[in-house]
């Protein structure tokens, strides 16, 4: 519970001036280190009466933002419709690293969502049709019956993307990189995004 972090550091040279490049390096290093579910991230939303947080999977990222996919009728998607502000957190304990991202969410385009949907296994495409995500259901058996009905309906047919399912892109305005250090003197480097497209880097006290 009180162990020290001694696996590395984040100096200014390693941080560089481009947070997307740094994130790419850290993300790939988490993958190469075999971190389980290295693309898992906590998503926090504030569109309801209370703030809500859950784990979702990063589908892709680039300089335009960080993308995950969901049912647009789910609570998280409805929260983001009411208030597009979003926060993402990656934690890779094996590497003693954390990344926090703040930004605004928007739907990806229809063609983008279609392209990703076609990469999903057939069983998950059926699940996108059968589940009214975040809605109550009487029992597990009812949920499985719904799945079986949609499975039968699409038997041997191409499964199109339902209009209520697609991508959400979080366009970052702030990205913070945290690297654990000994004696709780952690490295914290934050980048803030400006309207002209530039990023400003700052170091924060732990």
Return the active site residues: 184
Sign, CA torsion 128/129/130/133: positive
> Which 8-state DSSP code applies to residue 192?
E
Measured distance CA(45)–CA(38) in Å, rounded: 21
Task: Give, in order, the Cα–Cα distances in Å from 148 to each of 118, 123, 129, 137, 138.
Answer: 20, 11, 11, 15, 16
DSSP bridge partners of 97: 92, 179
């Amino acid at each position: 519970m009180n162990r020290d972090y001694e696996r590395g550091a984040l100096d200014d040279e390693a941080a560089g001036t481009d947070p997307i490049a740094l994130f790419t390096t850290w993300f790939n290093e988490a993958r190469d280190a075999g971190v389980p579910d290295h693309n898992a991230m906590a998503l926090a939303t504030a569109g309801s009466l209370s703030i809500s947080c859950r784990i979702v999977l990063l589908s892709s990222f680039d300089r335009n933002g960080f993308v995950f996919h969901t049912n647009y009728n789910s609570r998280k998607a409805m929260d983001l419709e009411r208030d597009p502000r979003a926060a993402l957190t990656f934690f890779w304990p094996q590497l003693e690293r954390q990344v926090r991202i703040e930004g605004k969410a928007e739907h990806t385009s229809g063609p983008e969502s279609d392209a990703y949907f076609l990469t999903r296994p057939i069983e998950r495409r059926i699940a996108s049709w059968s589940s009214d995500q975040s809605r109550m259901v009487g029992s597990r058996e009812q949920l499985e019956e719904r799945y079986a009905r949609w499975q039968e309906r699409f038997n041997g047919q191409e499964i199109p993307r339902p209009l209520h399912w697609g991508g959400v892109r979080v366009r970052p305005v702030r990205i913070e990189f945290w690297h654990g250090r000994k004696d709780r003197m952690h490295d914290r480097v934050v980048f803030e995004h400006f309207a002209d497209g530039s990023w400003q880097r700052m170091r924060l006290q732990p």
